[in-house]
A and B are shown apart, each in its own frame.
Chain A
Amino acid sequence: MSFTIFKLCYGDIPDQNAGAAETKQQAPVNEWPLWEVFIRSKQGLDHKHAGSLHAADAAMAIENARDVYTRRQEGVSIWVVESKYITASNPDEAGELYEPAVDKIYRHPTFYQLPDEVNHM
Chain B
Amino acid sequence: MMNADNNLVNYLLHLADTTLILSQRNSEWCGHGPVLEQDIALTNIALDLLGQSRNFYQYAAIVSGNNHTEDTLAYLRTEREYKNLLLTEQPNGDWAQTILRQYLFSQFQYLYFEQLQYSADTQIAAITAKALKEIKYHVRWSSEWVIRLGDGTEESKVRMNAAIITLWPYTGEMFMPASYEQTIAFRGIGYDCSELKEIWQQKVKTIFEEATLIVPEKVFMQTGGKNGTHTENMGYILTELQYVQRAYPNCEW
Contact = CB atoms under 8 A, between A and B. Distances in A.
Q: In this complex, which of B37, B38, B140 has the most chain A Cβ atoms within 10 angstroms of its Cβ?
A: B37
B37 A64 contact: yes
B144 interface: yes
If over half of B's interface residues share one DSSP class (helix, strand or loop), that class is named, otherwise mixed; here it is helix
Contact of A63 (B35, B36, B141): B141
B40 interface: yes
Interface residues of A, number: 12
A68 interface: yes
A59 B37 contact: no
A56 B41 contact: no
B33 to A, nearest CB: 11
A21 to B, nearest CB: 23
A54 interface: yes
Interface in B22-36: 35-36
Interface in A58-97: 59-60, 63-64, 67-68, 71
Contacts of A59: 144
B148 interface: yes
Contact of A55 (B37, B44, B140, B141): B37
Nearest to A64: B37
B141 A71 contact: no
Interface string B38-69: 10110010000000000000000000000000
